[in-house]
Amino acid sequence: MTADSPTPASNSAPAPAAPAAQDGATPDSAPGPAAPADVAGGGRAAGPVSLAELERQAAERRDRPAYGKDALISCDRLVRIFTADGVEVQALQGLDLLVARGELMALVGASGSGKSTLLNILAGLDVPTAGAASVGGYDLLAMDAKARLRYRREVVGFIWQQTSRNLLPYLTAAQNVMLPMQLSGSGGLRHRRRRATRAADLLGMLGVAHCHDRHPGQMSGGEQQRAAIAVALANNPAVVLADEPTGELDSTTAEQVFGSFRTANEQLGTTVVVVTHDQSVADAVHRTVAIRDGRTASEVVRRTEIDEHGRESVVAREYATVDRAGRLQLPHDYTEALEIRRRVLLELQPDHITVRPDDHPPQD
Ligand SMILES: Nc1ncnc2c1ncn2[C@@H]1O[C@H](COP(=O)(O)OP(=O)(O)OP(=O)(O)O)[C@@H](O)[C@H]1O
Ligand SMILES: [Mg+2]
């Protein structure tokens, strides 16, 4: 069932056995021909649709806001295919994702699900095979080398899992933070002072002021990661991306590092996207998006609610994502529990959709 499908004529009529994205066929997601208009009472209008009605439907489609219009990060049916030794690997298989400005969010998923592939594309380090992706107005598929360099210096900051990969070992923490500013800014004493002040401020804000004059070899793993966040923030990027930034750290240190991401998000308004296997990190963000087989599959959204006694509590809700073509991925444990294989029966109810196992499964 696609977003553009006509509403089934009656709730009791059996809905088409729609493929619930288990495997195989993917319906064309391009807007289809104008659907015949339903008439009041549930029946379908007999005879051809009037020209005026077709014009009205076309205008409605045209005026619909563009996908991801207000989002800072927009991925639209993103595909990345790697070819290694003649074998194709589809790391991203039509991934949709929108991230609003100012979000603090996590990406989770099994090993090999495509998290790093996505992050590398968003960082401007890799180019997708197909689809569309933009960050802060930059089209990630259409940037030339010059725009890509500017994008990587000024729009995104990146933090790797390996602490040793984030900082230059022969520079102090402060010099590491000043380097990206030097590369994108101009010279001169006044600028140099401003860079030095900003480096000291960022290190202070992230709780590693004491590492100002230390080389990475003289800092702990957690201190190095917090200094790396300061480096990533040096040019005041719109978004900071981090791939398993706490993967090499113990849980207490991981919490401190995550606290630095939160500080950047709250105090500077920086949008933060963190790939993590760490449940405590995933629990502490506004939204956790799960990636499965190269697509976004579900997300958990957390809201702070205040009860009638003024007590605050965080309420988490899990949603399955519906992609732009209307595809929904059923959780593996649900399909296993009901032995759902290739198709299901869908029934539209007044306020929900029922998904039932096929009562006449095809013989394999
Ligand atoms: N450069 C490459 N060449 C060939 N295949 C690749 C390449 N990079 C990634 N892949 C493949 O793409 C798929 C997704 O990989 P990716 O690194 O994005 O997974 P991940 O979700 O980050 O996993 P992990 O949690 O283990 O880091 C995997 O099957 C991987 O083997
Ligand atoms: Mg990875």
DSSP string, 96-142: EEEE-TT-EEEEE--TTSSHHHHHHHHTTSS--SEEEEEETTEETTT
* Residue 168 included in any domain: yes
So what's the pLDDT on residue 29?
A: 38
Expressed in angstroms and rounded, the spacing between residue 171 Cα and the centre of ligand 1 is 32
Which residue puts its alpha carbon closest to atom 17 of ligand 1? 116
Mutate to test the pocket of ligand 1, among 117, 161, 246, 274 (most ligand atoms within 8 A of CB): 117
Enclosing domain of residue 88: 73-320
Q: How far apart are CA 237 and CA 152, in angstroms?
A: 9
Closest ligand (CA of 110): 1
Residue with CA nearest ligand 1 atom 2: 82
Q: Best substitution site from 83, 89, 277 to test ligand 1's pocket, by max atoms within 8 Å of Cβ?
A: 89
How many folded domains does the chain comprise? 1
Kindly report the protein residue whose alpha carbon is nearest to atom 18 of ligand 1. Answer: 114
Residue 248 belongs to a domain: yes
Element (H or E) spanning 180, and its range?
helix 173-184
Q: Given this model, what pLDDT does residue 187 score? A: 60
Q: According to the model, what pLDDT value does residue 303 have?
A: 85
For residue 80, the ligand 1 atom closest to its alpha carbon is 12
Stated pTM of the model:
0.80
CB neighbours of 50 closer than 8 A, spacing ≥ 6?
Answer: none
Question: Distance from the CA of 293 to the center of ligand 1, in angstroms?
Answer: 11
Low-confidence ranges of the chain (pLDDT < 50): 1-45
- CATH number, domain with residue 165: 3.40.50.300
Burial degree of 165 (CB within 10 A; 0-12, 13-18, 19+): exposed
Atom 7 (ligand 1): residue with closest C-alpha? 82
Task: Express each pLDDT in 216-248 by its tens digit.
Answer: 999 999 999 999 999 999 999 999 999 999 888
Atom number of ligand 1 nearest to Cα 294: 14
8 Å CB contact between 112 and 92? no
Helix axes 251-263, 221-233, angle to 10 degrees: 20
**Is there a domain that residue 325 lies in?**
no
Structural domain includes residue 347 = no
Is residue 362 assigned to a domain? no
Q: Where are the beta strands (DSSP E) in 3-86?
A: 73-84
What distances in angstroms separate CA 330 from CA 79, 223, 226, 323, 344, one per listed residue? 21, 41, 38, 13, 11
pLDDT computed for residue 330 by the predictor: 86
Between CA 134 and CA 151 the distance in angstroms is 11
**329, part of any domain:** no
**The residue to which tokens 């992706």 are assigned:** 133
245-289 confidence digits (pLDDT tens): 988 888 888 988 999 999 999 999 999 999 998 888 878 888 999
**Cα Rg for the chain, rounded, in angstroms?**
25
Pocket of ligand 1 from Cβ distances under 6 Å: 82, 84, 89, 91, 109, 111-117
- The three-state secondary structure class of 92 is strand
Among the listed residues 205, 221, 222, 223, the one whose alpha carbon sits nearest the alpha carbon of residue 213: 223
Residue 52 lies in a domain: no
**Cα 156 to middle of ligand 1, angstroms:** 21
> Is 102:136 a contact under the CB 8 Å cutoff?
no
* Residue 60 placed within a domain: no
